[in-house]
Structure formats: structure tokens, C-alpha cells
Amino acid sequence: MLEQVGGKIKEIRKELKMTQSQLAGEELTKSMLSQIENNLSNPSMKTLQYIANRLNKSIAYFLEEKNIENNPRTSYDNLTADFEQTIKTINDNIEKSLFKQAQHLLEDLLIKGSIKNPSKLLEDIAYKLGKSLIEINNYDEGERYINLSIEWCLNNKHHIEAAKAYLELSRRFLDEYKYEECLNIINRTFEIYNKSINSDIPFEIELYFHKILVISSIVEGDKLIELIDEALSISNQSNMYYKTGELYRLKATANYLKGNYEEFDNAIKKAYQFAEFSEDKASLSNIHLTQSMVAIEKNDPEKALEHIELQYKYMGKKIYLYHLQKAKAHYLLGNYQEAYEYIQLVEFPSYTKVKLDYLIMWSSKIYEGLILNKLGRYTEALEAIKYGIEKMEFFDASSFLTNAYKFLAEVYSDRQDFENAFISLKKADAVQMKVSNFIKII
């Protein structure tokens, strides 16, 4: 589709003597249309229908020719029939999660010496197998195949493919919350990528996206925003708006945490614009989730409920954050029994590896305690909050931990236990002091 649609649009537009601005109309920007015409972006069906209508063509006109596939990584040229079939079987086994079978076949090729000059296809097979094994936490075996793929890629001077494989080595460290080690892998990935004479803008932005998420677990504030702006600059210069909605959402979040509320509003509006243009449902879901969280912070539970329902609409399923936001909103509304029912639905997925996500997840135990306290279940309330604090202390000082101790003090005060309330407030002050000192250092 990318090989044909953009060229056809440009050709017909010029035949009709229309400018890009005229064709873009009110629905698109000139920059967005330029991206499509130059085959840098694949238009959604909704966008393509809009363009087709303005050019007085049917949408079928742009789709009628056979797609052109030009991916050297999946070429079977110059392979023997047996070798080709073996590679196909390995690939099929990976797709079916039959990793042991795939391993045996690939090892058999290695033992027999069948692989003397590995092609891009074999680089890809080793990469896919390694990535799949890492995803099921078989790190040692997975990294062995990833390193094999990296070696083949570098020997063939396929630096972009080598960088993509090298990035997978960060997964173990991310799963173990070792952000500094993870960051080292990402920086080395940039070094490998920059050796290529070509560029892969979507991967480059993806690489920035990984770095932003890891950096956000180490520092907050200006350094994080600067990194996001670097990624957005690449997106703007290339006219390729890959993950642009998500990048603006992250920028909005970073500004909100800094107290830059005007910048938050500007960034979240841009996030909406790009997510809607690309019909990126995942990004729209995340944007509404962010808006719901901000509404809770602003003590606007009705607005929080509106946004969390839109989050569910775009995501199509109810994750733990949906239930958590519903519980928080109903708590603020004074609907304590309903809030309790929602908080009981919150699960604690193991895939939550980013610091902010982890702290938000365990804040559910703090809210569970607050809800239980309002329901008169004092002992259970203390247990829930203390458990949440224990989990949050994994990351030492954070604003979440500060608030957790303050809420603990609130529960003690409600029961006239002023001694423990005072102790909890002192702990909250100590944590906040650590947070403030850390921000000054960075």
C-alpha cells in the first residue's frame, strides 16, 4: 500500500491543479498530507476515504493494484529447497510458540555447518526466536540467540538490524527494575544504530520511546522533557508521526508532575490531535486514562468517570487501572461501598515495570485502606495501607510514598490514635525531604 497510494494521491492532485493545503482541507494539515504523499505514512481507511472524496475518486482506485513487498529480511533467494523449508518450519514454530522445536531445528543447521554466510533471513530468525524466549522469561537461551543475531548482523554490516536485536538485551534488566543497566543497553543501541548509513525513523523513535520510559524511572523534570522534545523533533523533521500522540501524552504527564499545568494542557491537546489523525486507539485510550488521573488530582470525580469510560471504549477491555480509577472517583463522591467493590477488582500484573506505573498500581492498596476506613473496618484499613507502603518502599523515596504516609496518619487520626498519626506524618516529611533533595541533585 505504501508503494502506491501516496504517489497516486500526488498524481491526481497535480492533475486537478490542487495545492496540498486545498486537498488537506479542514481534516488534515499540509504536513500530514505531505507525509502520506511521500510514502512516509500509511493513511487510515478513514483518512483515505476523506482524500478519495475530495479527489472525486473511489477508495478502491487507490487499493486496486497488488501491493509491492520489498523486504529483504524475508527473501528466500538463493536458498536450496530443503534449507528454505527448514527456515519456514522454524518460523512457523516460532509463530505457534513452539520454541523448543524451533531451537532444535536452528541448532541442527548450526551443527551441520549449513549456515556459512548467514543471510538477513537467518538474522531475523535468530532475532525472533531470541525475542520470543525472552518474552517468556527464558533469558539465558533467548539472549544466546539474540547475541547470535547481533553477531551475524554486524558481520554483514546490517547495523539497524543489529541495533534492533541489541535492544532486546535490555528486557532482562527492565524486568528486574535495573534501570541504570537498562539505560546502558539503550545507549549502546543508539551507538550501533548511528553507524548505519541509512535510517529507520520508526525504530529510531521507538528507541527514544524506550529511553524516555526508562529515564522517567530514574529522573523527573526538565531532563525528561528535553528527551521527549528530541524524539518529537525527529518526528517533525521527518514528517513521520510514529508514536507522536504517545510522545505528547508523556510530555503532558511530565509537565503535570512538574506543576506546569498550562504546558500540560498544550501537550495533551496535541496528543489528541495526532492520536485522532492516526486513529490510534491505544494512544487515545492512554490519553483518556491520563485525563482521568488528572481529574482525580483536581478533585473532579465526575470528569474522571467520563474519561475512564472513554478509556475503556478505546481499549475494549477493563484493565486494573479502569477499576482503580472507578474506585477513586466513587471514594471522592462518598460512594464507599461502590468504591470498595471496584477496588476489589484491581489486579496486580507482573508486566508493570516502569516506576510510575508500579507506584500507581500499588497506590490501589492505599485507596483500599481509605475506603475500608470509611466503611468502619479500621484494622483492615491499616493492614491495606501498610502493605501498600511496603510495596512502594521498593523504590525508596517518592511522592506516592509521601502521600501514603499522610493517608496512614489520616486513618490513625480518625481513630483518635494521635501518637501513631504524628509518627506517620514525620515519616511523610522525611520521605518528602529525600524527594526534594534528589530533585535538586538532578
Q: Residues 309-333: pLDDT tens digits?
A: 999 999 999 999 999 999 999 999 9
Confidence label for 66 from pLDDT (cuts 50, 70 and 90): very low
Measured between alpha carbons, how far is 402 from 32 in angstroms, rounded to an integer? 44
Predicted local confidence at residue 80, as pLDDT: 61
Residue 115 has pLDDT above 70, yes or no: no
Predicted local confidence at residue 79, as pLDDT: 47
- The residue whose grid cell reads 524524539 is 231
3-state SS class at 3: coil
**26 CB-near residues (< 8 Å, 6+ apart):** none
Average pLDDT, the chain: 86
Cell output for 430 = 522525611
Measured between alpha carbons, how far is 231 from 264 in angstroms, rounded to an integer? 18
Flag the least confident range among 118-127, 194-203, 266-275, 379-388: 118-127
One-letter amino acid of 289: L
One-letter amino acid of 384: A
3-state SS class at 98: coil
Residue 13 has pLDDT above 90, yes or no: no
Measured between alpha carbons, how far is 20 from 25 in angstroms, rounded to an integer? 9
Cell output for 294 = 488528572
262 CA to centre of own chain: 24
What is the mean predicted confidence (pLDDT) over 198-204? 92
Cell output for 81 = 529447497
Q: Do residues 152 and 126 touch, judged by C-beta distance below 8 A?
A: yes
More confident residue, 146 or 110: 146
What is the mean predicted confidence (pLDDT) over 160-182? 95
Confidence label for 104 from pLDDT (cuts 50, 70 and 90): confident
Predicted local confidence at residue 294, as pLDDT: 95
Identify the structural domains of the chain with CATH numbers, from first to last. 5-63 (1.10.260.40), 88-198 (1.25.40), 365-442 (1.25.40.10)
Read off φ and ψ for residue 202, nearest 5 degrees: -60, -40
Residue 212 has pLDDT above 50, yes or no: yes
Confidence label for 52 from pLDDT (cuts 50, 70 and 90): confident
Helix axes 336-343, 320-333, angle to 10 degrees: 170
Residue 40 has pLDDT above 90, yes or no: no
Residue 67 has pLDDT above 50, yes or no: no
More confident residue, 307 or 44: 307
pTM over 0.85: no
Predicted local confidence at residue 112, as pLDDT: 56
Q: What confidence tens digit (pLDDT) does each residue in 363-416 have?
A: 999 999 999 999 999 999 999 999 999 999 998 888 899 999 999 999 999 999
Predicted local confidence at residue 5, as pLDDT: 78
Predicted local confidence at residue 65, as pLDDT: 43
Dihedral class, residue 376 (left if φ above 0, else alpha if ψ from -120 to 50, else beta): left
Cell output for 233 = 523533533
What is the mean predicted confidence (pLDDT) over 53-63? 73
- The residue whose grid cell reads 491499616 is 382
Q: Do residues 246 and 286 touch, judged by C-beta distance below 8 A?
A: yes
Of the candidates 180, 183, 170, 172, the one whose C-alpha atom is nearest the C-alpha of residue 136 is 172
Q: What confidence tens digit (pLDDT) does each residue in 332-361 have?
A: 999 999 999 999 999 988 778 899 999 999
Residue 211 has pLDDT above 70, yes or no: yes
Share of the chain above pLDDT 90, in %: 54
3-state SS class at 59: helix
Residue 74 has pLDDT above 70, yes or no: no
| Residue 291: its H or E element | helix 281-297
**168 CB-near residues (< 8 Å, 6+ apart):** 127, 130, 131, 134, 142, 143, 146
Read off φ and ψ for residue 278, nearest 5 degrees: -90, 0
Residue 117 has pLDDT above 60, yes or no: no
Residue 122 has pLDDT above 90, yes or no: no
Share of the chain above pLDDT 70, in %: 88
Predicted local confidence at residue 111, as pLDDT: 57
